[in-house]
Amino acid sequence: MTASARKQAPRDARTPSARALAYSILFAVESRAAYASELLHTRLETIGDPREAALATELVMGALRRQRLLDFFVERYSGRKVSKLDIEVLIALRLGIYQLRYLKRIPARAAVNESVQLVRSSRKKSASSFVNAVLRRAASESDRPVEEFLSTEITPEDALGIIHSHPTWLVERWLRKFGKPGTVALLESNNRPPANACVFLNAEHREKTLQSLTKAGLGFEPGRLVRDAIIVQSGNIAKSEAFRNGWVGIQDEASQMIPLLLGVRAGDFVLDLCAPPGGKTMRLANLAGEHGRVVASDLHESRLQAMSERLNKSNVANVSLVALDGTASLPLTKGFNRILVDAPCSGTGTLSRNPEIRWRLKPEDLADLHRCQVALVLSALEYLSPGGTLLYSTCSLESEENESVIQEALRDRRDICQEPVEVPQEALAATTSASELIGDDGTFGTFPPLSHTDGFFAALLKRR
């Protein structure tokens, strides 16, 4: 944003600037393990100017996606390890270098001065001259590609990790699984903003929803994967009547596909074992109809309470909420003919949407998640009626959380078999074929660079 543009839209002194808001959110993400998307959702309302809100979003998500590369430059220009810097100083440097490298419409002087001011405002005034000097050095080389600064002794995996800002261990495993072209495409995809896909939560209000979005000034286009989805290209959906009334929600297109793969029919008795935030639950309830029933559960009462409010807003009445530990014996009546286990996972298929995950996840976490996921499937299978089906899904790209979970769950279960996932062609956008989404082993999968969605996996199990 230019200085003249800012003069045209003066900001209330009580309203935080885009950079101040971004700085506070990044501090919370770094110091309290908060999630950026959640904080942006709740705090962007404090910024009245949509251009400032867009800048705040760009700064937060961009700095998180490019964090390793930004830290590489911080160390280059400061001569210090990032682990030795105060968090307040480090975040100001990351924001400054991100603007210098990626937001060329912002003058270098403004990027430097604003970052210095952020440090002063955070009670680190003594570091302001240090930040100023580091960013001025960064500005002098901001047009030079990072490849020029890499050591000739660096491994190819480390080079890709720095250039594309991912942990080396993730790069290494993806190279083994996807090869170099697929890995580079995935790394690049993870550093682009995801599509802002929406789902219609109330089919009866579809036309009214579209009119509401248009009235709110939103620009949108049809979904690329799901026929009934739309992708918002401009505008703030939260300001529309349709969103406030619970007629439409934000949900990735691959995520929208998952409940459709379970084959729920009118009158079915459905268990949604790991239900919140509830988008999939609402689709299952719609498919089961007024004579069907969905039991939706989660370990945490607070998440179920938030989900209850969402269900009430959308007038979904055929859902019962139950707090329970899905890995243990369940306090439920047996005999569900459809079960969805959308398991907690690493989320490596969502690194564009949730970039902080890549910096928190450790290799050893995959084994812990695998054990939990197997326990969830085995527990749920005990409540599946003969002839019934269970759909296991994750938003992970890792075999330990996907194929290996199914293999272990079936190891000693002769009463359970795996069946090919069937994708309803009528639910897909015209440009997508169901065969593109099913692997040789009969599992469902999306790959972000190809599907332009989050990366999802799903497998179908049946009780004989």
Active site positions, annotated: 395
Give the SS3 label for residue 347: coil
Spatial separation of the C-alpha atoms in residues 315 and 317, rounded to whole Å: 6
Helix axes 156-163, 168-190, angle to 10 degrees: 40
Describe the strand order of the beta sheet including 248-250 as a list of residue ranges: 219-222, 230-234, 196-200, 248-250
Strand partners, 389: 338, 462
Q: How far apart are the C-alpha atoms of 308 and 436, rounded to whole Å?
A: 36
CB proximity list for 106: less than 8 A, separation 6 or greater = 1, 99
Q: Map residue 23 onto helix, strand or coil.
A: helix
What one-character-per-residue DSSP string does 175-235 give?
A: HHHHHHHHHHHHHHHHTSPPPEEEEES-GGGHHHHHHHHHHTT-EEEE-SSBTT-EEEEES
Dist CA 320 CA 107 (whole Å)? 55
Closest CA to 437 of 264, 256, 249: 256
**Residues 6+ positions from 126 with CB-CB distance below 8 Å:** none
DSSP state of 248: E
Integer Cα distance of 427 and 200 in angstroms: 13
Write the CB contacts of 38 (distance below 8 Å, at least 6 apart in sequence). Answer: none
Q: What is the rounded (10 degree) CA torsion for 410, 413, 414, 415?
A: -110
Give the span between the Cα atoms of 35 and 38, in whole angstroms: 6
Structure tokens at 345: 């996972």
Spatial separation of the C-alpha atoms in residues 462 and 456, rounded to whole Å? 20
> CA triplet 421, 307, 213: central angle to 5 degrees?
85
Q: Are 355 and 329 in contact (CB under 8 A)?
A: no
Counting beta carbons within 10 angstroms of the beta carbon of residue 299, is it exposed (0 to 12), middle (13 to 18) or buried (19 or more)?
A: middle
